[in-house]
Structure formats: structure tokens, C-alpha cells
Chain A
């Protein structure tokens, strides 16, 4: 493992350097207790100890609305639109890196999505070891407390004024040395980073699944036909789609288009969509394959708990707890849902 020690005053110089060649985004407090990634401009105060950023980082790779082709209605020609600004996400927690790693694989699978890949290729990710855990989070029990890949650098605060920075890619190391040589970490500093990880892990484990996450696909699949359970849980669902909007691993989209007022040129774009919205599975003529809220609700937990697992070998839920916060009906809590299923099956004779 290659690692360096960076002192707090150095970070400002580094950020200045980085900001000259790419758009840098950092976590900052936007309202009391609410954190977001915002562009770093020298004035923004970095929230090194943030617990959770409310909106997810998927927007940097899969923007809420993204033009994918432009067309000429007279010549009937179309060409791809691929935009990929150079960007750096500085301070990403491991569970969010895991979510991005999943998106990377899903967008590569079958038919590679060039729009996504172009953005991803132009993005550097500097991870950050959390020091606080959101009240709604349960990532430590979803196999998302640490990641082996998906970052260019990984920062752990080992004292009020120092970071242990692990190198994840050559490009990351280059960025670290952009202002001159940096100090190699000592064994003691590495140990301090390990302890910092264990400390936050202990806090994270206060909210967890009651069983090993690997059992989730089998458990949730057993419950697929348990209509009573899904109907009861989703009784107050407003089908508002908040849970999918804030989910870092949800990537469904709709395809729409716009033409100019002379009907000569136009563009087709994709826009975030969500399987919890009523019309999502509707076809021409009005038949809806997930007509009711409980079917849509079930689909979400099946997708997170089984379908993504079948593709990637990991759960589609990384336990960030964003949906738990976002749901106004207080029913979107994967930890509660999966725990309840586990309890029910455990007690079956």
C-alpha cells in the first residue's frame, strides 16, 4: 500500500491547484445538519466530519437531465451528444463509492452506456473515512463500510491536523504531488488510520441488519408472494418517488425530447425516472404492469435485495439511509423491511 501524510494547511494549496484544471466538489453544510457536495471555490468550508450528503453522487455521472442526441428534423440526421466535464469529487464516503462502483458495472454491462462512461472517465474520486454515522444509516451491515477499489485517493483523518492518504490510482498519486513532494506515511500513521476506521465502524454497527446481508436475496425472494406483507407495509405509500430520487444505486430514466419552435432542430434527453411512480410500467393502451403501490413498493425491495445481487453479487442497497430520511410516509426503510422479513421467516416452523 502506498500512502502519504497530508497536513490540513496543505489541503488548501492542493485544492487551489486541483481547481485550476478541473471542477472540484466538496462536502459542506448547507443547512443545519444537512450536507451537500458543492463546488469548491475557496470560500466553501469543507465538512470533514459530515455524516451523509443528502443528494447522491450519481448526479455527477447520470445528471437528472442529460442530452443524449441532437437531431435535425429537415435532414433527418442525428448525432450523439456526449458531455464529460473534468471533475473531482473530494470527500466521498465508502458506501457512496460502492454505489458508484455498482453503477460503473451496470452501465458497462450488456450495452456500454457511452454517456455515463465518458463522465466517469473524466471524474476523480477522493474517498474520505467517515467519522460520524447518520442516524438512519446501516451501511456497516450491508458490506459497504469499506471499499477495495473505486477511488483515486482515500483520506482518513488521523489527528485534528493530519490525514493518512492511501493511493488508489497513479492519477491520484500524481494529483497529490502536484504541489511538490509529500511526506510518506509511517507505520504508526497507518495504524492510526486503522483505528479511525474501527472507531467509526463501532458506531456504525449500532444500526444494522439482524443477520448476514448475504441471506437477503433468498429471504426477500421467499416473501415475493406475501401480498399481505407488501400491502400492509405500503399502505401509506404516496408513490412520490422520493426514495428512488435520493437512492445512490437507482438509475432508471425516461427518454424525452424537445424541438425548437421552427421545428428544425431538437434534442433528445434522458431524465431520472422511478419505478415507484405510478406510470412507470404502463404501456400503450393504458395497461399498467405495476398498477398498485404495493407492487411498486415490492419491486423496489426486490430490486435492491435480489435483482441487483443476481447481476453483481452485491446488494443494490448500500445502507446509506437516504431513503429513510426522504420518505414522508416513513415506510422506506430497507433495514426495517429486511429485518422484518428475516424475523418472520426465522419464526416460521
Chain B
């Protein structure tokens, strides 16, 4: 089948609201100029264009929703595109391609207990799955959320997390690697939270996202608890440049992270030497 449709042409979207989460991280709320929903699924990513600067991939942080068409990106200031994003004022335009890639199979999780393990900015894509579950709370069993951050200043979504912690039907545990004077919570890497959780490993699935170094240790802990590997899901970060399986940048062994990922079941990547 031939068509003239080019995957490389972005659609315009408008910045509706922005909110600083910490010194480097800001939450952006966008809406497509077409007025249509982004139609993404939890875990998928989009390509964001700032014309004249460039294009970069970001996970969508908000869950798919039906009450309005806005979607949220949470972005850390680190390169040219992200710095330009931070400089945008409400009403400014960006270009969007996608959504692209695999997503968390929410249907499979219905009726299951769920464990989230989020390291640092990994909470951003995790949030899409977590909030989806909170919006459909009665469809899922016990929910446990582990959040690890380098230090208290870098924590994000502190208000939302505090609110979620107050719920009776969600268990939230937080830790920081390096505390400050005011920090009263757990100290240590994210795996130090595992001894504190009470979960039924027969009915629990896991979603874990964090820095590359984290995965091995989280999978070890999950395995130690007795969670089978085919119930561990993770999202891998790579720099997708084209987003459509051509440019080669996001390749993990023979797998294109932009097509087959970013969300993988652990059993699908366990044999790939370049994955973790």
C-alpha cells in the first residue's frame, strides 16, 4: 500500500498550562489544535518539536481520559529542546508526532494487584499508568507505589503523592538516596523499600521505570519476592529520533525501542544483552 502520508510531519498543539515541579522539572499541559484527543495509552511516547530548535521524544505523563482532551508532559531541563520548552509561555505552540510505541497492557492487569517501582524521573511515565488505575480504581486490586529520588529537593509531584498516600486503597512508600535535615522518611536506594512492603506475589504485577542502573536491582528484588518474570513490565529509555523504526538510534540488539518498546515485559528483553 502506497500513500503520500509522511510520518515526519508534526501536528500543532498549544500549551494550556505549566507548573514548575522543582528547579529543573516542569509540568506542561497541552491540547492538540485539531481539538481531538491525543489517543495515547499509558506508557506511550510522543515526539515534540520546537521548530528551529529540534525534536525530542517524551513519555506522556497523564492517563488517557475521556472528560477532556488535554495531555501532560513532564520535562527536565537538560538539552536544547527541553530548555526551549521551559521557556514557552501559555498559548505557545509546539509540534507533536505520535503517540508511538508499546504501552502497558491495562486489560491484562484488571483484577490484579499492582506494584509500581519508580526511580527519579521514572515516576513521570509511571504516573500515566498509576492515574489510569486510580481513575478505574474498582477494576484493580491492591496498589503499592514505591518512589525513590536522589534527594528531597528533586522530588516531584509531592502534593499529588501526599494526596494519594492519604487514600486507604493505595500504599505509597518513598525513599531518598541522600537526605537533608528536614527529611524524616526512608533513606537509601529504592530496593531498601522492598522489605517494607506486604504484597501477595501470586496476584501482583509490576511496572518499573527509572534510571538504567536501577532495573537489574529491582528485578532481583521482585524475583526474590517470588514475582514471576512474565509479570514484570518496564519501560526503557533510548533516544528515538524518527519514532517509526528507521533511524536506528533506539535499537536494543535487534529490537527497535520505538516500535517494540518502550514498554516491555521483562521476559521479552531478558535475552537481549543491550537492554539493561
A residues adjacent to B (C-beta < 8 A): 68-69, 71-73, 76-80, 82, 106-107, 109-115, 117, 121, 224-225, 251-257, 259, 263, 266, 268, 270, 273, 275, 280-285, 287, 289-290, 295, 299, 302-303, 306-307, 310-311
A110-B245 contact given A79-B9, A266-B52, A284-B79, CB 8 Å threshold: yes
Q: Kindly state whether residue B246 has any CB partner on chain A within 8 Å.
A: yes
- Contact partner of A282 (CB less than 8 A), chosen from B78, B94, B239, B274, is B239
Q: B residues near A, CB below 8 A?
A: 1-10, 12, 49, 51-56, 76, 78-79, 82, 93-95, 211-212, 237-239, 241-242, 244-249, 251-254, 256, 259, 273-274
Summed over the interface, the residue pairs from A and B with CB atoms below 8 Å come to a total of 135
- Whether the Cβ atoms of A107 and B246 lie closer than 8 Å is yes
Collect the chain A residues with CB atoms within 8 Å of residue B51's CB: 71-73, 76, 78, 257, 259, 266
Q: Name which of B2, B9, B49, B252 has the most chain A CB atoms within 10 A of its CB.
A: B9
| Bound-complex Cα distance A143 to B196 (A) | 59
Q: What is the CA–CA distance of A78 and B6 in the complex, to the nearest angstrom?
A: 11
Q: Secondary structure of the A side of the interface?
A: mixed
- Contacts of B212 on A, CB cut-off 8 Å? 287, 289
Closest chain-A Cβ to B69's Cβ sits at a distance in Å of 18
A284 to B56, CA, bound (A): 10
- Residues of A within 8 Å of B54, CB to CB, are 255-257
Decide if B9 touches A80 in the complex (CB within 8 Å). Answer: yes
Min CB gap A73→B, angstroms = 5
Query: In the complex where A77-B12, A82-B6, A257-B54 touch, is A111 in contact with B254 (Cβ < 8 A)?
Result: no
Q: B8 touching A68 by the CB < 8 A rule?
A: yes
Candidates A109, A111, A224, A252; contact of B249 at CB < 8 Å:
A252
Chain B residue with Cβ nearest A72: B51
Residues in A whose Cβ lies below 8 Å from that of B244: 110-111, 113
Q: Is the pair B238, A283 in contact by a Cβ cutoff of 8 Å?
A: yes
B248 and A251 within 8 A (CB)? yes
- What is the CA–CA distance of A259 and B53 in the complex, to the nearest angstrom? 8
Q: For B247, what are the chain A residues with a Cβ–Cβ distance below 8 Å?
A: 252-255, 270, 273
